[in-house]
Structures are given as C-alpha cells and as structure tokens.
Structure 1
Amino acid sequence: MHLKIRHRTEYRYETPVRYSIQELRLTPPTTAGQQIDKWKISTPIKASSSIDTFGNFYSVFVQESPYTSMMIEAEGEVHTQDAFEFKDDAKAVSPYYLLQQTNLTEPPDEMLGYFASSLPKKNSVDEVLKLATAVQQAIGYVPGQTTFATTAAQSFALKSGVCQDHAHVMLGLCRASNIPARYVSGYFFAEESPNLASHAWIDFCSDIEKGIWISVDITHACLIDARHIRLAIGRDYYSAAPVKGVRTGGGGEELSANISIQQLP
C-alpha cells in the first residue's frame, strides 16, 4: 500500500510554560515491510536529531521562552507490504537486555497464574500467537479507561485497556517465559477504525544468535502486515513514545492528538 500519514500533536497550558525539553520518535525507519518516500517533522523551534540505543531516529528540542501552546506535526508518505520478520544490525541492544521487566510490564503472580496454560514453552510463532490470542480475549479493548502510565498489572486487574496495555501485558508474559520481547510504537491503517491509527504491538526474539525478531499485534492477535507502520522500538512505552517531554510551569495541560492515514493510488 501507498499511505499518506499526518500526525498532529497540540499542547495547551493554563499558565505559561517557562522551560521544556521535548523528545520525539516520530520518524519511521526504512526497514522490512516499509519504504519511506518522504517525511517531515515540524516543531516550534529547530530540533537536533540523532539515533538512540535501539536504533530509533529521535529529535530533541528545548524551549526556554515562555509559551502557552505548542504544535508538533509529522507527515509523509510510506510504501508498505506484508512483512513480520526483522533482523537486527550490530548496533541494536542485546536480546538478553529485553528479558528484563520494567515497571510498566512487571506481571503480578495473579496474572502469571491466569495465563499459565497459555505461556509459551519455546519462542515459536505458534506458541506466541496462542498467548497473544489469550491476552486479546482477557483484556477487552476499551478506550478511555487507561492512560500512558497504566501498568500491565493495572490493565490486567481492570481486564480492559488499549493496544498499549495489550503490548505491556504481552511483554510481561513473554519475558516471564524467558523470551526476549520489545515494545513497538507505530501506526495502523484501518479505514473502519480510525481510533486505531496510533498503535502499539510487540516484537519477540525467535533466534537470539541471529537477532531475528517477529512482530505480533496483540490487539488483533496476528502477525503484523502491510497495514502496520513501525515508528520506534524500546523496552516499553516510555522508551518508544512518539512524543514525550518534561516542563517547568504551565499548570494544567490539555493535549490533543490527531492522526490521519489515507491510502493513495
């Protein structure tokens, strides 16, 4: 598919923000399954760009003049095709590092017990997809009940969440099963479900020696395909978030994000 993507993030504040640092992972890489034709990020002031530990493109900008609103926009065109296997280059972090739990993924005993019969015995596609189906069935897709800070344990207790929560629950269970797994942030093209445009899924390592990773969409309990556009990878949401930052001042914050994806001829 040939897709045009526009991602607009707008912040508004009750009182002026005096100082802020914003970190963006809004540039999709050219990799298996996707070719980036053109891509542009617009920020209030010039950002510096680099590559992080996970091989993600990231940009940082610092604002030292007071402001009460801020707009960040990313847009471009991507050609996609079905692909769910990815091979790491030498710069990527060790799969063994991705066996470690984080605060967002740590599974409580109740969660491990609940999924005991579905936990993979080996890092095969069939076994991990079986677990993905179990997670999808247990954690209902219900927008508005969780936030970016909701942990896997909290989402499991609620038995509801969104794609980010599905990914965190799945990461916790894979890592508890001694399978390296990482969070993937990205976009999902579905004309009938525009609320899924901002999406998240996981990669699990199927061959540690060769650095082979397989992408699984927990929300749809399937391998990823041409509808998925990868943005960034990390240990959890925090290290792969498309937009995050810290600030001084500002009082109450109002955030609005709008993502449109359209298929081009």
Structure 2
Amino acid sequence: MLLSVDHVTRYVYDRPVRSLVQSHRLMPANNASQTVDSWEVTVSGGVPGAQFRDGAGDCIRGWTVAGPVSEVIVSVKGVVRTLDTAGVLRGHRETVMPEAYLRDTAATEPSAALFQLADSAEGEEILTLAHSLSAKVAAAIAYRPGATEAHTTAAEALALGEGVCQDHAHALITCARLRGIPARYVSGYLFADAEGNEHEAAHAWAELHVPGLGWIGFDAANKCCPDDRYIRIGSGFDAQDAAPIRGVARGLAQGQGTESLEVAVAVQSAGQ
C-alpha cells in the first residue's frame, strides 16, 4: 500500500517564549514492512541540529527556535510504501538487547489487577501467550476517545475499564513484562481501523519479543497485529519515552506563561 502522511503540530504560547529546543522522533525507518519514498519535517523559524540513529534504530533530530516566539508549527509530510508482514518487524537495525525492555516505568507499573489480568492469559508457547495477552487487554479496556489523559497509567486505565490506544499499549506492555516477555511502546500512524474507518490521529501499539521471530506488533485497541495500514515511527519503554516530539521552552517555568497544543493528522492512500 502507498500511504501519504500530513501531520501538523501547532504550539501556541500566551506569552512569547525566549527560545525553544525540541528533539524529534518523526522519521520512519526503512524495514521489511515499510519503505520511505519521501519524507520532510519542517519547523517554523527552526534551525535543524544534529541527527543520529539511536540504539533502538530510531532516527532522532534536534531543532532550535530562537525567540521571542508565540507560535511554533511542526509539519510532517511524506509517502511510505507498506507491506503486510503479519506484525513481525524484520530488517530493522538496532543494537539494544530485548531484555532491556523488561523494566517497568511509572506508566507501566503493575497493580494487583494487572497481575491478575496477566495471569489469566494462556499459552504454552510465547507467541500464543502474546496473542492471549493482547486479547485479554482488548477485552478489559474498551476503546473510548477522551476517557483518559496523556499521563494516565496502565493501572488507572484498567481500573477505569476504558481508554485509548496509548492505554491499551501500556496495559499490554505491563502484562507482557509480568509474564517475562520483553515489550515496548511504538508510535506511528494508522490509515484505517478494523472497520475500515479512516484514522484521524497518530496511533500507538505494543511490540513483544518472541524468540526465533523477533519483535512482533500487537494493536490491542484494534484487536490485530499491524499490517500494511500502519506506518511505524519510533519506540520506547512507554509513551513518554517514545514521544514523537519532546522539547523545552524557555519562559514557561514558574508560571511565566502557558502552552496550548493543536494536532492535525491525515493519513491517506496516495492514490486518493
């Protein structure tokens, strides 16, 4: 499938900030399931900094915006050719050992209910167990936009019984780690959900490591493994670690101003 992405993030400050520094994880890597035809990231008034590929194989680039500035727009435009590999991540160059993804974070710290959910999954083989864990999470947390916030933890989402893709990913990661399976958070884009409805936001899912196969994606929110509707951008221990954009604005500390955020994402078939 040939997919085009148009992703705009707009930062607005009620008082001009003195400067802005950002770190972007916005460039998809080539692998067996995706090939980048074209990709461009721009920042209004921004000066690009160093670019490197980290141990997880993700492309990281720094940007600096000199102030005073009241608005900053980050624009991503690109075209990617995708292929369905049944969720298996092949041809992705990375150096981090899978065992590194067994540690918990604040967002994935287990609760008693998460222990019970993890224990309820069945499967003698790791791949079967991974599918069971994903199904258990999908059944325990109903998908409902707006039900949770950016800082909601896996334990809080499970207690609430509803959430968004970020919550499904966090809960699955927690349960997998409790069963001894390395798991990580993945950020990216989705062309259409399981019902064929176009997806109007950035997306997230989990990857679990299965010996002999490697990393396999599981999208508990859509009850499937990523296929050719998905574009993989980056990964991390949790949503904060895998965030596509991270930054610091000088002048926001100590009540010296506020920041508002607007995001618009359009993922379409390039033939449309």
The TM tier, using the shorter chain, reads: over 0.9
Q: State the alpha-carbon separation in 2 of the partners of residues 165 and 40 from structure 1.
A: 29
Alignment of 1:125-140 (within 5 A): 126-140=128-142
Could you tell me the TM-score, scaled by structure 1's length? Answer: 0.92
The AA in structure 2 aligned to 1:139 is I
The AA in structure 2 aligned to 1:261 is V
CA 1:227 to 1:200, structure 2 compared with 1: closer, same or farther past 3 Å? Answer: same
Q: Secondary structure at the match of 2:89?
A: strand
Q: State the alpha-carbon separation in 2 of the partners of residues 42 and 77 from structure 1.
A: 15
Q: Secondary structure at the match of 2:159?
A: helix
Of 228, 253, 257, the match for 2:259: 253
Give the match for residue 95 of structure 2: 92
1:201-252 deviation line (CA, Å, top 9, x unaligned): 1111111xx6711111111121110001000011111221111212222422
2:29–2:92 CA contact under 8 A, matched in 1: no
Q: State the alpha-carbon separation in 1 of the partners of residues 59 and 93 from structure 2.
A: 16
Q: State the alpha-carbon separation in 1 of the partners of residues 103 and 8 from structure 2.
A: 33
The count of residues paired between Structure 1 and Structure 2 equals 261
Give the match for residue 104 of structure 1: 107
Could you tell me the TM-score, scaled by structure 2's length? Answer: 0.90
Of 170, 193, 203, the match for 1:199: 203
Q: State the alpha-carbon separation in 2 of the partners of residues 153 and 47 from structure 1.
A: 38
2:84–2:227 CA contact under 8 A, matched in 1: yes
Give the match for residue 32 of structure 1: 32
Q: State the alpha-carbon separation in 2 of the partners of residues 143 and 222 from structure 1.
A: 19
Return 5+ residue gaps in structure 2 as ranges: none
CA 1:51 to 1:73, structure 2 compared with 1: closer, same or farther past 3 Å? Answer: same
Instruction: Percent identity, please.
Output: 34
2:3–2:80 CA contact under 8 A, matched in 1: yes
CA 1:39 to 1:241, structure 2 compared with 1: closer, same or farther past 3 Å? Answer: same
Alignment of 1:146-165 (within 5 A): 146-165=148-167
1:95–1:211 CA contact under 8 A, matched in 2: no
Q: State the alpha-carbon separation in 1 of the partners of residues 122 and 48 from structure 2.
A: 43
Q: Secondary structure at the match of 1:164?
A: helix
State yes or no: 1:263 paired with 2:269.
yes
- Calculate the aligned-residue CA RMSD, in Å: 1.8
Query: What is the CA distance between 1:151 and its match in structure 2?
Result: 1.1
